[in-house]
Chains A and B, each alone.
Chain A
Amino acid sequence: MDKKKILIIDDEVDFTKVVKLNLEGTGKYEVRAENKGSLGLAVTKEFKPDLVLLDILMLDMEGSEVAYQLRSDEETKNIPIVFLTAVIRKKEAEENKGVIGGYPFIAKPVGIDELIEVIERNIH
């Protein structure tokens, strides 16, 4: 079975690095990390991921803006997006059944098992 391609866009370099290692360590995913929101669309087009893990609060471009760009582009509009954020509490994410503003949600800090579960739930 082909590895699923996961793109993680987060300006926390260390976070993307360790998440990439953990996901790839499962042997099920091919992960690409991108630390600049502004490059999100371009990288998505190039990498063609099966799912995008998108941070909300980034310095150069907000996650919501990246999501908008992805949804606005024919090439990328159908790629599932899961928001990853430190701003919203885990509990809130749970209470809203993991969906805020129509997008699935993961509150940081998140363990790898939980992350995989959310990815699997949302990937086509």
Chain B
Amino acid sequence: MAYDYTYWDEMARFFTTKDTEWAKVNMDANVLDTYKTDVIWLFGLDLSPLYSINRDGFDSLKEFPLPRANIKDIFKEERLRHFFVNTKIGLLEVRGATVHPGSDPERKTLPRGYFLTARLWGKEYVADLEELIGGSIQISNTKLAIPSPEALLKANSIVFSRQLSGWKGNVEDYIYINILSEQLQGYKLLSRNAVVIFIIFLIAVIIFITLFITTSVNLPLAIISQSLKKENPEKLRGLEKETSEFGDIARLITSFFWQRQVLLKEVAERKKAEARFQQVAEATEEWIWEVNKDGLYTYSSPVVEKILGYNPEEIIGKKYFYDFLTPDVKESLKKNALEVFTAKKPFRNFLNPNLHKNGNIIFLETSGSPMLDKEGNLLGYRGADTDITERKKAEDELKKAYTDLKETQGQLIQAEKLNAVGQLASGVAHEVRNPLGIILQGINYLEKKIPPDKGSETAEIMAMLKGSVQRADKIINALLDFSRAANSDLKLEDINSILESSLNLVKARFKFDNIDVVTETKEGLPMVLADKNKLEQVFINVLLNAAQAMPGGGKIIIRSYAKELKETKDGIGKREEDHFRIGEKAVIVEIEDFGSGISEENLKKIFDPFFTTKGPGSGVGLGLSVTRNIIHMHRGLIYAESQLGKGTKVIIILKISAR
């Protein structure tokens, strides 16, 4: 009512007209009934009372229960008010509003006046209210205690209170409403049922969740665990098709199983391969090994014990590859090998001597390949060694046999040549000497028949003819000397004296003026068993050759000394046919010139019969071959060393007499 009546143009006009008649018509007792109110007050803006109406019997309410001056304050903050006021006749519920024209529903304009209406909360009204709510109402100006909820519940009553505010917001009174309700019992029951239903629902939910977990979590988990336990991916077939996480897991597990199977297969194959390798490594005669990048053994097949006498435990992690090398080659081979390591190169059939645990020398043929990581860094080497000691021995023997054979062949050829030369020499000797005989006899005849004057040309020619016959005969003799070097007269001789007599003979017979002969002969050399004449022939021959190598003159050094033979070479060694043993003491003669020298190719042939470089007329080329025959007849050796353009050294090795 306070709302309806206060923004009404007619009401607003009333405050200007103060038309009491209009007020009486529009706010009569019927209106009070309609709005179930007991009194209405209208005040002008100046707080003058303009109209009031009250229900019959409520005349004491004709006057507004609060001082009029308060009205302005009542509406100061709010334009619509609802508050309680205690009066002498009881609690009054007041509603009021400022009056504004209908065009100002928000009551923003200056109010035209004040409209207030009130209802007395008398016993009658309270009884009505109690009837309406079905409980008891108690108004009190003090705060009352409310019984405990349990007590209330037990009594089937609901009690609530509310503060009834005055116009200043002060507490005017407290209202207590106590509803004694049978319905509460019903609610209580209802509530109890609700709890039961809730519990049942909860149980149902739990069961559902349990079932859900069982079917969608436990079951798959059980399948997964089963499948994992039995290592059987077949059980996961059904699960795999699902799109859930279990499907993913199942697929993962299947793929894991698959990978595992592949891995197992691979492992099995590797094991097989390893076993195969092991078997091969153990069965093969080859020593299989692995070393790290420093050369330390990281694997060794057991064969090593057969080869080097050490078992793998003594080697792996303890020995370096170079530990087995013989001391003479250790450092150099180690250096070489580590260079190969640095280059990360493979190597093949590298021959190296090693020491067996028992001290024997074992020849190994080593092959190896580098082991590299993904970045190409060297991890080590892997390879195999073959014991070729026996093979090497056989090879050496074969090589020796071959050399021997070659030498024998050479000797056979030499013998054949000698034989041929011998026959040739005999033939030539016969065929040449007969005519020589005739010529000589012919000269004798002519000398007798036409005796030339001494010093005449004829005498000279005769002498020349005789000389030529002598010369030709000499060549024949040399030929025969060659073919029959035997038949010599061996005596104990001092080599230095033979050298001296040879040199004297050479100097006496040949032009040796421009040759400077230096003798470096050792005094007190052991005696040699020699044919003096033949050795002289040898030395003369060599000296003449030396001189001929230096047509413009030069120096010849003659040396003699004794020494122990240490080097194996042609004719020095252990064989039956070798003239000297290793370690044998011998007398050595060296005749060295500093002339034109002999080419390597020719050096091989200089001892061959009929070999000459001197050109036609200079000689028949029997000199050095005869020389060698003579030396061989003495069971000695003769070698020549030469460098083209630098000179030649002829070395003669002679046996020391045992006598």
- A86 with B477, Cβ < 8 A, contacts A12-B438, A110-B437 known: no
Q: Which of B429, B437, B480 has the most CB of A within 10 A?
A: B437
Report the Cα distance A70→B436, complex, angstroms: 28
B438→A86 contact, CB < 8 A? no
- Check A14 for interface membership: any CB of B closer than 8 A: yes
A87→B426 contact, CB < 8 A? yes
A89→B434 contact, CB < 8 A? no
Total A residues in contact with B, Cβ cutoff 8 Å: 24
Report the Cα distance A111→B469, complex, angstroms: 10
- Cβ–Cβ < 8 Å partners of B487 in chain A: 92, 95
Chain B, Cβ-Cβ closest to A107: B433
- Check A19 for interface membership: any CB of B closer than 8 A: yes
The smallest C-beta distance from B466 to any residue of chain A, in angstroms, reads 8
- Cβ–Cβ < 8 Å partners of A95 in chain B: 487
- Check B439 for interface membership: any CB of A closer than 8 A: yes
Report the Cα distance A69→B559, complex, angstroms: 58
- Check B237 for interface membership: any CB of A closer than 8 A: no
Binary contact track A2-32/B, C-beta < 8 Å → 1, others 0? 0000000000101100110110010000000
- Cβ–Cβ < 8 Å partners of A18 in chain B: 438, 441-442, 444-445
User: Contact partner of B434 among A12, A90, A91, A112, CB < 8 A?
Assistant: A12
- Check B240 for interface membership: any CB of A closer than 8 A: no
The smallest C-beta distance from B422 to any residue of chain A, in angstroms, reads 12
Binary contact track B425-452/A, C-beta < 8 Å → 1, others 0? 0100111111011111110110011000
The smallest C-beta distance from A117 to any residue of chain B, in angstroms, reads 13
A22→B448 contact, CB < 8 A? yes
Report the Cα distance A93→B116, complex, angstroms: 194
- Cβ–Cβ < 8 Å partners of B449 in chain A: 25
Restricting to A76-92, which residues have a CB under 8 Å from any CB of B? 84, 86-87, 89-92
Report the Cα distance A14→B434, complex, angstroms: 10
- Check B473 for interface membership: any CB of A closer than 8 A: yes
- Cβ–Cβ < 8 Å partners of A22 in chain B: 441, 444-445, 448
A112→B441 contact, CB < 8 A? yes
- A15 with B437, Cβ < 8 A, contacts A25-B445, A87-B430, A111-B444 known: yes
B430→A111 contact, CB < 8 A? no
Say what secondary structure dominates the interface of chain B: helix
- Cβ–Cβ < 8 Å partners of A109 in chain B: 433, 436-441, 469, 473
A90→B438 contact, CB < 8 A? no
B440→A90 contact, CB < 8 A? no
A112→B444 contact, CB < 8 A? yes
- Cβ–Cβ < 8 Å partners of A113 in chain B: 444
B477→A89 contact, CB < 8 A? yes
- Check A45 for interface membership: any CB of B closer than 8 A: no
Binary contact track B480-495/A, C-beta < 8 Å → 1, others 0? 1100000100000000
A15→B434 contact, CB < 8 A? yes
User: Contact partner of B448 among A19, A25, A86, A90, CB < 8 A?
Assistant: A25
- A108 with B445, Cβ < 8 A, contacts A15-B438, A90-B473 known: no
The smallest C-beta distance from B338 to any residue of chain A, in angstroms, reads 71
Report the Cα distance A62→B436, complex, angstroms: 21
Binary contact track A23-54/B, C-beta < 8 Å → 1, others 0? 00100000000000000000000000000000
User: Contact partner of A86 among B437, B442, B444, CB < 8 A?
Assistant: B437
- A111 with B440, Cβ < 8 A, contacts A86-B433, A89-B480, A91-B477 known: yes
Report the Cα distance A67→B227, complex, angstroms: 125
Report the Cα distance A38→B447, complex, angstroms: 34
Binary contact track B596-626/A, C-beta < 8 Å → 1, others 0? 0000000000000000000000000000000
Chain A, Cβ-Cβ closest to B449: A25
- Check A57 for interface membership: any CB of B closer than 8 A: yes
Chain A, Cβ-Cβ closest to B443: A111
A108→B433 contact, CB < 8 A? yes
Chain A, Cβ-Cβ closest to B440: A109
- Cβ–Cβ < 8 Å partners of A86 in chain B: 429-434, 436-437
Report the Cα distance A91→B440, complex, angstroms: 18
The smallest C-beta distance from B489 to any residue of chain A, in angstroms, reads 9
Restricting to B391-443, which residues have a CB under 8 Å from any CB of A? 426, 429-434, 436-442
Report the Cα distance A109→B444, complex, angstroms: 12
The smallest C-beta distance from A8 to any residue of chain B, in angstroms, reads 11
- Cβ–Cβ < 8 Å partners of B477 in chain A: 89-91
- Cβ–Cβ < 8 Å partners of A91 in chain B: 477
B434→A21 contact, CB < 8 A? no
User: Contact partner of B436 among A21, A87, A108, CB < 8 A?
Assistant: A108
* List of 7 A-B pairs having minimum Cβ-Cβ separation, nearest first: A86-B433, A109-B436, A108-B437, A112-B444, A109-B437, A18-B441, A109-B440
Q: List 25 A-B contacts (CB under 8 A).
A: A12-B434, A14-B438, A15-B437, A18-B445, A19-B441, A22-B444, A57-B430, A86-B431, A86-B433, A86-B434, A86-B436, A87-B429, A91-B477, A92-B487, A108-B433, A108-B436, A108-B437, A109-B437, A109-B438, A109-B441, A110-B440, A110-B441, A111-B440, A112-B445, A112-B448
Chain A interfacial positions (CB closer than 8 Å to B): 12, 14-15, 18-19, 21-22, 25, 57, 84, 86-87, 89-92, 95, 107-113
With A22-B445, A110-B441, A112-B448 already in contact, 15 other A-B pairs whose C-beta atoms are closer than 8 Å: A15-B438, A18-B442, A19-B441, A25-B449, A57-B430, A87-B430, A89-B477, A89-B480, A89-B481, A90-B473, A108-B436, A108-B437, A109-B439, A112-B441, A113-B444
